[in-house]
Amino acid sequence: MAETADSLIAVISAQNGRKKRRRDTSGSNDASRMDLGDDDSPSDCESTISNMSIPDDTEPVDRVPALPISKPDWSKKLVPHLQYEAATHSLFMCDLYSDFKIICGDYVFPAHKFIVCPQSEYFTCVFRGGFLENQESTIRITDEKPSMIYRLLYFFYFMEYNDEPDELKGGEASTEFRAKVNFTMYRIADKYGVPGLAKIAAEQQAECLAYCAEQLDDSEDTVVWCIRKAYRLFKGRNDPMRLLQMEAMAEYWKDKDYGTEIRELKAFRAACEESGEFAMDFIDCYEWQRAFNSDRASDLFKRRGKWVENAKGGWDLILEWKKCDPSWTDRYTQRRGEVLP
């Protein structure tokens, strides 16, 4: 009998260098046993995200959106699409040309190998090997929520996903809820070897945090809460989920005085005491914003960074320590009539 493809997940995760954290039961290394708090499970990244409680908020139900009738109506004439993107979008959750399906919970999601496999190391390996899933053209996922697998598939077809619950109408999800979704998608990207999804998840969480810092009152504790979670969950000195959030926080805190305002925040002090990497990264980002971006509000003046594939198969974000590209500032000043120092 052909073996299943479940073991591929562990292999891909190990290659990407984000191995699961386990509780140190020997008692010999107390420093490595972080106090995760009441809402964190100390076992591993997956269970920690799943068990994250949202402070002072009722967590909305995160359901899979109502799925369209996927069977094609052959009585209607099929009109060819003019653009590749439109053609790809039209196949989402559609049985037309579908050559495999994903079963998660009570849901059956139709999918297409030529769209999914080029974006995922896991799905590529499944359908190139002699696995049972390849023979049956069916992949059963039992350890993820259907709503998250729906978002994963949505990304494959649209290169984006929604980090708010489907039931939310006419409002906004809490920053903490959106962080939980983005952290989960970041973990799933690592699990299934989808680097494009990891990049989108990190960037989307940074945008969420920037909006929170800029628009919401009393946002300091929420911002620190999100970044502190990222430093607990994701390891690596150049981890994009850590650094993009830290950049967002530093950009909107750049006008605050460190000595009289920032260091007096209890949540910030607790995060620095818990993680020296958190403290060092904040100093780096805060000093860059103060030096090069003190009076700028345009996206043209955001700090530049390079996405670099690391030796373990994952991705690092290397933030540059220099002024913005002169060509950007020249275009900006010509349009605004300003003179830069």
Give 207-232 pLDDT, tens digit per residue.
Answer: 998 888 777 666 788 889 999 999 99
- Average pLDDT estimate for 107-124: 95
Please write the tens of the pLDDT for every residue from 150-175.
999 999 999 999 998 876 655 567 88
Within a domain: residue 29?
A: no
- Average pLDDT estimate for 166-193: 84
Does the pLDDT value for residue 47 go beyond 70? no
Q: In Å, what is the CA distance from 130 to each residue of 5, 11, 137?
A: 9, 16, 12
By the 8 A CB rule, do 61 and 39 touch?
A: no
| Residue 284 Ramachandran class (φ > 0 left, ψ -120 to 50 alpha, else beta) | alpha
Within a domain: residue 103?
A: yes
Within a domain: residue 28?
A: no
Within a domain: residue 341?
A: no
Does the pLDDT value for residue 106 go beyond 90? yes
The pair of structure tokens assigned to 306 is: 């390079």
Of 150, 321, 138, 306, which is closest to residue 238 (Cα–Cα)? 306
Q: To 5 degrees, how large is the angle CA 50–CA 169–CA 166?
A: 35
pTM: 0.75
Q: Which residue has the tokens 């009289």?
A: 260
Please write the tens of the pLDDT for every residue from 2-21.
666 676 666 666 566 544 43
Q: What pLDDT is attached to residue 86? A: 85
Of 318, 317, 320, 324, which is closest to residue 296 (Cα–Cα)? 324
**pLDDT more than 70, % of the chain:** 65
Q: In this structure, what CATH number is given to the domain that contains residue 126? A: 3.30.710.10
Number of domains in the chain: 1
Within a domain: residue 53?
A: yes
Tell me what percent of the chain is helix, strand and coil, each rounded to the nearest 5.
50, 5, 45
Please write the tens of the pLDDT for every residue from 256-307.
888 788 888 899 999 999 999 999 999 998 888 888 775 554 454 567 788 8
Which range marks the domain in which residue 239 is found? 6-23+34-336
Within a domain: residue 140?
A: yes
Q: What gap in Å lies between CA 278 and CA 301, rounded to an integer? A: 24
Within a domain: residue 331?
A: yes
Within a domain: residue 1?
A: no
Q: Which residue has the tokens 């030796």?
A: 311
> Which residues have C-beta within 8 Å of that of residue 300, sequence separation ≥ 6?
324, 328, 329, 331, 332
Q: What pLDDT is attached to residue 263? A: 83
